[in-house]
Amino acid sequence: MMADYDLFQKIVKALALGEGERARELLAQMDDSDQREYVVYVGASFAELAGQLFEKDHSIVAIKEFVDEMAHAYRNTNPPFKTMAMEALIRALFHDDQSINEVSADDQFRLQMMALRMIVHKSPEIYSQLDLHLTEARTTAAGWLSED
């Protein structure tokens, strides 16, 4: 059975737009057997959107500024926001960075979803092209899954 990418895309779009209630409603429709593909799609969406945001400047300084802003926005979250882990996730997209191996899969997934929201909030360009980027993420996710 094919993974339901239409549903994944709707969920991630709702999350990225801060529509938590809608995201929860959509998540409830997801088949349990699609969990792995969904996690991979979230990762691909993160790679796509962060790739766009940091395309012109992915210096350590630019990444750190973004993560500091995120840390402030998510300062009251429970469990607490993990600054080093978030930096590692973004750096791994652009730099040869092994510290991502120290970030648990659960933390990666949670931080990627938080980052999606922050990226869309920060970038009007990405916001206006969100559907395009999330469609692109489908291709990336399918490619990653076919490598397994």
C-alpha–C-alpha distance, residues 36 and 11, integer Å: 15
* Residue 136 confidence (pLDDT): 97
- The domain total for the chain is 1
Mind listing the pLDDT tens digit for each residue in 43-93? 999 999 999 999 999 999 999 999 999 999 999 999 999 999 999 999 999
Name the average pLDDT for the chain: 94
What range defines the domain where residue 16 resides?
5-147
Task: Assign 3 a pLDDT band (cuts: 50, 70, 90).
Answer: confident
**Mean pLDDT confidence for 106-123:** 96
Sign (positive/negative) of CA torsion 72, 73, 77, 80? Answer: negative
pLDDT of residue 1: 58
How many percent of the chain have pLDDT more than 90? 89
Per-residue pLDDT at 99: 84
Q: How confident is the model at residue 95 (pLDDT cuts 50, 70, 90)?
A: confident
Distances from the Cα of 81 to the Cαs of 102, 136, 139, in angstroms? Answer: 16, 28, 30
